[in-house]
Amino acid sequence: MNKKIIPTLGVSSCVGGPSDSCATAPSILKSSNYSSVLVNSELKWESFLEVSNLNKNSLNILNKQSCVINQFAQQQIENKASFLVLGGDHSIAIGTWAGVMNQLPPDATFALIWIDAHMDAHTVKTSPSGNLHGMPVSVLLGEADHELQSCYPSAKHIDGQDLYMFGVRSYETDEIILLSKMKVNVFDTQRIEKDGGTQKVLFQLIETISRCYDYFAISIDLDAIDPKDAPGVETREEAGLSADNLLATFENLDFGSKFIGLEIAEFDPENDKNGKTEKLVYKIINSIYK
């Protein structure tokens, strides 16, 4: 049986977060024995993007990082290849989805499913920590501070109504105000439980999106998942999504040709236990690229 070849970019960067070991995630994953989990797909690794973490939250470094990731994503869309980007912290999303927006046909509809414990919708002005990994959503929406927004290598932004946040459980008021203003669809953990749980709600969401849009993609911050299932993350939040429920949902869906890319961020090997999160990354990839 011929395996699906997935063009894969590893971004060895933690410029936007407090951890340094988060930047080692791509190299750990590339050499991981858990790659044997993949049944129907094979990762075709590009050369790693190595990003200096010496100058944390540098907009200059973020800009360069975003431009390189943008070029990778654009190339895959041009080649009509569903791609994978592995971080590194979630600031990588600025480059990934700029590349998609740049290369999709002008009249195409596109939805991004953002699975994350956090809203990541701060600006430099509103962020309590100043960490860039808490700001990519404001950039993707075109609502960031001027200097931060200039790190986004595209003139096209994601419309708030085409962004679907899932698994959110930690956020600040400024983020809620911004996302409400932009009409972003937010499925926080309370709403998910009220509406029937992860499997039911996420299944229906992806099914609906795949019907109603020309293209869609998923960006996963591993801290969306309960720490007992994914301990190896940079910013841990209690009581998240069950890994088993997430995997079961993906496995029961046919992603089809409309699915154009997957991004997985915030794996921090130093915080992992017995390779649990490392293995989970490969289980997620296998459940989507089946």
**What's the one-letter identity of residue 149?**
Q
pLDDT (tens digit per residue) in 149-184? 999 999 999 999 999 999 999 999 999 999 999 999
Q: Which helix (H) or strand (E) holds 112?
A: strand 110-115
Kindly report the pTM of this predicted structure.
0.97
**Per-residue pLDDT at 1 exceeds 70:** no
Query: pLDDT value at position 19?
Result: 93
Comparing CA positions, the residue from 4, 150, 188 lying closest to residue 64 is 150
DSSP 8-class letter at 107: T
Query: Can you tell me the mean pLDDT for 60-83?
Result: 98
Query: pLDDT value at position 2?
Result: 84
Q: Which residue has the tokens 């993949």?
A: 38
Interatomic CA distance for residues 129 and 37, integer angstroms: 37
Topology of domain 4-288 in CATH is Arginase; Chain A (3.40.800)
**Hey, where are the domains in the chain?**
4-288
pLDDT (tens digit per residue) in 197-246? 999 999 999 999 999 999 999 999 999 999 999 999 999 999 999 999 99
Interatomic CA distance for residues 205 and 202, integer angstroms: 5
Interatomic CA distance for residues 89 and 16, integer angstroms: 6
Query: pLDDT value at position 249?
Result: 98
Distance between first and last Cα of the chain:
12
Strands (DSSP E) contained in 124-248 are 163-168, 185-188, 215-221
pLDDT (tens digit per residue) in 98-157? 999 999 999 999 999 999 999 999 999 999 999 999 999 999 999 999 999 999 999 999
